[in-house]
Amino acid sequence: MKSVFCSLEEEWESVHYSGVRRGVFVERPNRFVAHVELDGQPVVCHVKNTGRC
Instruction: Give yes or no for residue 1 having a pLDDT over 50.
Output: no
User: Which residues is 24 bridged to in the sheet?
Assistant: 37
User: Which residues is 14 bridged to in the sheet?
Assistant: 4
User: Which residues is 34 bridged to in the sheet?
Assistant: 45
Name the residue ranges covered by the structural domains of the chain. Answer: 21-53
Q: Please tell me the predicted confidence (pLDDT) of residue 13.
A: 76
Residue 53: pLDDT band with limits 50, 70, 90 = low
Mean pLDDT of 2-31: 77
CA gap 35, 23 in Å, rounded: 10
Mean pLDDT of 39-51: 88
Residue 51: pLDDT band with limits 50, 70, 90 = confident
Backbone angle region of 51, left / alpha / beta, with phi > 0 → left and psi within -120 to 50 → alpha: left
